[in-house]
């Protein structure tokens, strides 16, 4: 057999071993996660030994060297923790979509616990976008971009609605690739985005799908958290709708000096989605405790005694209290109306992303009252 044939055979074997290694990573979910780590270590040792069997003189040409560096970097990057050695090898391999995606993932690993998290995640997003330009139909590249945007949402404080929308669009593009439909992380992370977008039904469906594909994920815990929140909202809304003190609370709403460009409106006059140049004024009835850090949920009522839910991002925990008067500017209205496990959930909800969107007791909030809540995905994307 010629030396070229031997080299090609060794490279093919190393490539197949690397593919098998990632198949284990993406499809093997034993009850004990340590068993998966042990199997990945064993498979990566095998793949590295096959790669090392290629003599140095047979990896000198640019194409040979690029393939070798890419495979070595990819093998070393299979485990969850960041390894600089993996990054070094991938950086030497030259640009292609697989390498760009791998670098993007590495940058997200590097970002964990550093002072320049946001900067590293921005680099991750850039590499993810570059990978897509090389193959716009590749589901893995879109999935990688979705993960990068979701990570950016978390490391910048879980308040930027636009990053969630970008992440969701990337995941939707990833789902168009049939090869991605076996990936439980795609379903889990997409459901996480829907949870923070308050698309509760889609979030529940997505987490259930992720749990079916990988019971080891915390997907069913996420389902239960959402159901617990919805049940609490439902019970409070039903209880306060019949409350005798609702009329007195609603009548205590006072006039607020508003910019002339805003008109005052009650819930029944608002359409779904964004209501520009409108001010919704309500009285806080209840602070709703739940199992996630953000958003903060409140039950409120307007002057017509219509109860609604307010979800607030990016403010201090104790800033809004029961009995306070809220003025929501340009309110974003969502009418939640769906059934889950034969229970109907029906309520009106308003989302506040920025302190500029809200007055508390007629006063604007100041920048020092804002907070960028530090949140991380349960499953690292």
**How far is the C-alpha of 118 from the C-alpha of 48, rounded, in Å?**
33
CATH of 3-225, one of 1.20.140.10, 1.10.10.10, 1.10.1040.50, 1.25.40.10: 1.25.40.10
Using CA atoms, how far apart are residues 198 and 212, in angstroms rounded to an integer?
22
pLDDT at 191 over 50: yes
Q: The tokens 């439909």 sit on which residue?
A: 181
Q: Which helix (H) or strand (E) holds 263?
A: strand 263-265
Residues carrying CATH 2.40.50.550, the chain: 229-369
DSSP helix/strand/coil, 343: strand
List 286's β-bridge partners, or say none.
299
Place of tokens 């459901």: 191
Check pLDDT > 50 for residue 6.
no
How much is the mean pLDDT over the chain?
87
For residue 1, pLDDT over 70 is answered with no
What is d(CA 281, CA 288) in angstroms, rounded to the nearest whole number? 19
- Tens of pLDDT, residue by residue over 317-341, are 888 999 999 999 999 999 999 999 9
Contacts 24+ apart (CB under 8 A), 224-227: 225/290, 225/291, 225/292, 226/195, 226/200, 227/340, 227/341
Report residue 38's pLDDT band, with 50, 70 and 90 as the boundaries: very high
Instruction: Kindly report, as residue ranges, where domains of CATH 1.25.40.10 are found in the chain.
Output: 3-225
- 282 phi and psi angles, rounded to 5 deg: -145, 160
CATH code of the domain made up of 229-369: 2.40.50.550
Q: What six digits make up the tokens of 168?
A: 């969701």
pTM for the model stands at 0.74
Please tell me the least confidently modeled range out of 27-31, 177-181, 205-209, 367-371: 367-371
Percent of the chain with pLDDT over 70: 93
CA-CA-CA-CA torsion sign (140, 145, 149, 151) = positive
- Tokens 């306070």 sit at which residue? 324
User: Distances from the Cα of 180 to the Cαs of 165, 185, 195, in angstroms?
Assistant: 20, 10, 21
């Amino acid at each position: 057999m010629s030396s070229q044939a031997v080299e090609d055979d060794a490279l093919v074997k190393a490539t197949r071993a690397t593919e098998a290694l990632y198949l284990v990573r993406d499809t093997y979910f034993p009850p004990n996660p340590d068993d998966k780590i042990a199997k990945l270590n064993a498979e990566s040792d095998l793949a590295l030994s096959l790669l090392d069997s290629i003599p140095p003189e047979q990896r000198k040409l640019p194409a040979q060297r690029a393939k070798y560096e890419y495979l070595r970097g990819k093998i070393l990057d299979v485990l969850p923790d960041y390894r600089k050695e993996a990054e070094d090898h991938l950086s030497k391999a030259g640009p292609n979509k697989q390498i760009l995606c791998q670098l993007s993932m590495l940058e997200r690993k590097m970002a964990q616990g550093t002072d320049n998290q946001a900067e590293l995640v921005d680099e991750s997003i850039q590499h993810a976008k570059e990978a897509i330009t090389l193959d716009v139909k590749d589901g893995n590249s879109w999935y990688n971009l979705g993960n990068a945007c979701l990570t950016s949402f978390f490391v910048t404080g879980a308040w930027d609605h636009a990053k969630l929308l970008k992440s969701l669009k990337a995941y939707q593009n990833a789902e168009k690739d049939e090869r991605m439909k076996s990936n439980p992380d795609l379903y889990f992370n997409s459901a996480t985005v829907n949870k923070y977008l308050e698309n509760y039904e889609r979030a529940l469906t997505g987490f259930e799908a992720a749990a079916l594909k990988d019971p080891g994920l915390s997907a069913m815990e996420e389902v239960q958290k959402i159901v617990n929140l919805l049940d609490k909202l439902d019970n409070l809304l039903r209880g306060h709708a019949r409350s005798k003190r609702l009329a007195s609370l609603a009548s205590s709403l006072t006039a607020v000096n508003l910019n002339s460009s805003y008109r005052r409106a009650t819930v029944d006059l608002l359409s779904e989605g964004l209501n520009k140049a409108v001010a919704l004024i309500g009285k806080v009835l209840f602070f709703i405790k739940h199992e996630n850090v953000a958003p903060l949920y409140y039950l409120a009522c307007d002057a017509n005694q219509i109860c609604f839910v307010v979800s607030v991002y990016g403010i201090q925990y104790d800033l809004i209290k029961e009995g306070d008067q809220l003025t929501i500017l340009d309110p974003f209205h969502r009418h939640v109306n769906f059934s889950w496990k034969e229970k109907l959930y029906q309520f009106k909800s308003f989302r506040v992303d920025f302190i500029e969107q809200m007055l508390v007791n007629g006063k604007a909030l100041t920048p020092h009252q804002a907070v960028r809540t530090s949140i991380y995905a349960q499953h690292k994307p």
